[in-house]
Amino acid sequence: MRAIYVDKNIPRILAVKLLRPLWSNVIWSPLSPAKVADLPEPELPGPKWLRVRNIQCGICSTDLSMLFLEVDISIAPAVLPGNNRFYLGHEVVGEVVEVGPEVTRFKEGDRVVMESRFGGPNCHTQEIDPPCEHCAQGQTRLCENASLGRGPVGVGGGWGDGYTAHETEVWPVPDYLNDDQAILIEPIAVAMHGVLRRRPEAGEHVLVIGAGIIGLMTVQVAKIVTPECHLTVIARHQHQAEMAQHLGANEVLIEDDPYAKIAHITGAKHYEAPLNRGMLLGGFDVIYDCVGSAQTIIDGLRWARAGGTVVLIGISLNRLRVDLNPVWYQEVDLIGSHTFGVEDRQGSKIPTFDLVINLFKEGTLVYDGLITHRFSFEEHRQAIATYSDKRTGSIKVVFTY
């Protein structure tokens, strides 16, 4: 089994962080906690486990943050003992090639996508009964028993030949979806969950910060959920701006200091300051931050109107020094959105993945043009470089097997 993984080996992490400014390829060296490995094919570790052979897998910024160790080992999730080895690649569609004797949800030959597998153990995968409150509600990302360490964990990931998983960690792919649609289920679900954490209302001013794949999917989902909202996007590159407009954005900004333009769009008052960018009074009703850096959080809180909302869909896996004063001074709500789970939809509960699949079935979701580059596993360095350098025109880069 081929795989790329990162171990939580603190001495190696610190060494690579120290050397990387001087030696860019240290991440691929023997010093690195990141490995491109040929692993022994693992046995199924339990009767409710299965084996998946990968078909294709997308590259995600979270994967690259881990690969390039752009992670602070002192952040809250890093202290949990359950987070020790991370197999990279989770936007993956594959075929079930082996099932344990007690697997009931799948059979050999079924296509599946990874759902909770990348998020680590939860009550269902550890077969804890009764499950915690969150897992009982289908919100396995919030599991209170995630680091108990009961039972086996899966081997392998989307970046490689395949992986093993508990049957509750993967999701069925209907025959009417093609493989390109299938690998977009996960990133669209991330966007959907974020938008539904604070649904825009008709006529509201909405901002999406960032026009990578998650930002673009947030644009599309917000316009599907509330077509009558006025949606602005901040993008870095022209090809991202063009795709955002194609997906329904009303305004796209490509500039380093958009405060004045934002004030014009929303009718806010812009007060400049000598030592920083100043602040708006007025602004957006809801902001979806799909970057989650210190600067985008600072800006987003200042661009929200009094009583507005900033939803944190993206996040930098580092300690962040941010100005939270707008949360107090203008009562701006700052809401987290951790990937996906189960949503309230028209008075009923529905898994985020099913919401996305239904939109594909209806023909509502646009996906043409989003996958811009395809590479084999052997070309993984070139694939990663292409994804990282947006001057290549990349939006979604995938491995095909």
Domain boundaries, the chain: 2-173+371-400, 190-336
Give the per-residue pLDDT at 400. 97
- Contact (CB, 8 A) for 147 and 110: no
Write the DSSP assignment of 192-236 as a string of letters: HHHHHHTPPPTT-EEEEE--SHHHHHHHHHHHHH-TTSEEEEE-S
pLDDT in tens, the chain (401 residues): 999 999 989 999 999 999 999 998 999 999 999 999 999 999 999 999 999 999 999 999 999 999 999 988 888 777 777 668 899 999 999 999 999 999 999 999 999 999 998 888 999 999 999 999 999 999 999 999 999 999 999 999 999 999 999 999 999 999 999 999 999 999 999 999 999 999 999 999 999 999 999 999 999 999 999 999 999 999 999 999 999 999 999 999 997 789 999 999 999 999 998 878 889 999 999 999 999 999 999 999 999 999 999 999 999 999 999 999 999 999 999 999 999 999 998 788 999 999 999 999 999 999 999 999 999 999 999 999 999 999 999 999 999 99
- Separation CA 238–CA 254 (nearest Å): 8
Q: Which amino acid is at 125?
A: T
CA 371 to chain centre: 16
Would you state the CATH architecture of domain 190-336? 3-Layer(aba) Sandwich (3.40)
118: nearest Cα among 87, 145, 143, 144: 87
Burial class of residue 261, CB neighbours in 10 A (0-12, 13-18, 19+): middle
According to CATH, the topology of domain 2-173+371-400 is: Quinone Oxidoreductase; Chain A, domain 1 (3.90.180)
Structure tokens at 148: 């108990």
Q: Which amino acid is at 243?
A: M
- Contact (CB, 8 A) for 172 and 373: no
Phi-psi region of 192 (alpha: psi -120 to 50; beta: other; left: phi over 0): alpha
Give the per-residue pLDDT at 86. 92
Which residue do the tokens 């919100």 mark? 139
Give the per-residue pLDDT at 75. 85
Structure tokens at 205: 């001013």
Structure tokens at 193: 């969950």
Give the per-residue pLDDT at 163. 97
CA 57 to chain centre: 14
Structure tokens at 153: 């964990």
Give the per-residue pLDDT at 256. 79
